[in-house]
Amino acid sequence: MSDGPLTPDPTIFILYGGTGDLAHRLVLPAFFQLAIAGLLPNDWRLIGNGRGDVSDEDFQEHVRQSLEEFGPKPSAGPWDEVRARLRFAGGGFSSSDPGTLLEVVQQAEKEIGGHPQLVHYMAVPPAAFGPLTEAIGAHHLAEGSRVVYEKPFGTSLESFTELDRIAHETFQETQIYRIDHFLGKEATQDIHVLRFANGLFAGAWDRTHIESVEIDVPETLDVAMRASFYESTGAILDMLVTHLMQLAAEVAMEPPHCLEAECLAKERESVIGCFRPLTHADVVVGQYEGYRATKGVVADSRTETFVAARMWVDNARWDGVPFLLRTGKCLAESHQRVSVIFRDPVPGLPNQPTGQSVLGFELSGDGEVQLTLVVKEPGVSESLGSSTVVIPLGQAFHTPSLPAYSRLLHDVLMGDRSLFTRPDGLAHVWKVASEILNDKPEPVTYPQNSWGPPEAAALIAPDHWLLGQ
């Protein structure tokens, strides 16, 4: 986490899959948000790449439509300035055929002058990561550049190992940015800041004081237009082995020596190595009613749209503390909540509420920090209740928050790898999930707008999910 200048060096940003869904929904809007915030380089070009024969003007219109649909609106920022720096290189890009990309990059370098930073962003399906990486090496675009891989980085331990091998044949580890946008959220970063910077929590962050940790990401949305993608992944790959386990590592890691990239990443990935492999007894998977009727879903699909897991961290700090992970589609509410539940004092006070000492982090939107405590109820009686105070992270300070994708894109432009994943931790994540991935349980059907299968509540008993209780 650098405290230096916030303006990156001149950059050529190559967006592979530039007209695809991920770029349309997330990457292009995030890039424009940086333009609004004044956080882009003084000179830059964004080159969309794809198989189609798309003119620069057509690509510029595509970007404008992305912003109109997903925001921020073009009218909210310097659209004319941004539009003038957008290019498109068609004809695809492979080791044997670079299409027009090399010519477009050369022209951009001539326009900018000097030696601009080259960033490769892979907004493509995971199956394309390997061939594109090999093509970057074959056409001599790797030296000194940076590469961003979307998740999932592989779909199994075997595919992860192969992709990691290809990546390191082309790039040094310091050039590689494996993005997990949950790590870019303001409230996620506050997990380690509140813990390490406040004596109120620093000395109580262990098994003696903490009863359990819940990482709960329910969604009200269905799979909608992403059915074909979801059929090839499911909730375990899409959420559990990526976002939820990374968040668990953020909570569980040992204190780093500093908040710089290597210190944070070392401790985050080190604690992932302590995650106990999941068994079938640790997991409940579900599928919402009506999923199989979705266009693009096979009639007998066993793809899970819900997963709940009880996971253990096998080290001295967390011995015996359950990490309870849950996510699913078509649930009753949408949240992105991390809850650290502290043990009740012994003996405590007579008739006090139990389980009400909770430090919560709501990751959605601008983010919130929530603290629930036992307090005396107002009045003449000595009745005890609980109350929650909330710190809204996007409004409590004079500096505005950035959406997670924008924050991480800026980190890539600045060369800051603090909030990106490393291969050692990712390799162990696949080992943690290998049993349930290699032999997926049969999903339990659950009603839409519910909290998922009732088996998920039984899985964590005598604990309970704070959301939906």
Contact between 252 and 313 (Cβ < 8 Å) = yes
User: Measured between alpha carbons, how far apart are the two ends of the chain, in Å?
Assistant: 38
Residue 410 exposed, middle or buried by CB count within 10 Å (0-12, 13-18, 19+):
buried
**β-pair partners for 217:** 327
Helix axis angle for 261-272 and 245-252, nearest 10°, is 110
Pairing of strands 210-218, 117-122: unpaired
**β-pair partners for 47:** 14, 87
Sign of CA dihedral 24, 27, 28, 29: positive
User: Per the residue annotation, which of 243, 257, 398, 464 is the catalytic one?
Assistant: 243
Q: Given phi > 0 = left and psi -120 to 50 = alpha, else beta, which region is 348?
A: left
Sign of CA dihedral 12, 17, 19, 20: negative
Pairing of strands 86-89, 117-122: unpaired
**Interior angle at CA 339, CA 338 and CA 345, nearest 5:** 165
Alpha helices in 203-260 (DSSP H): 227-231, 234-235, 245-252
Tokens of 184: 């870019």
243 in active site:
yes
Q: Which residues are catalytic?
A: 243
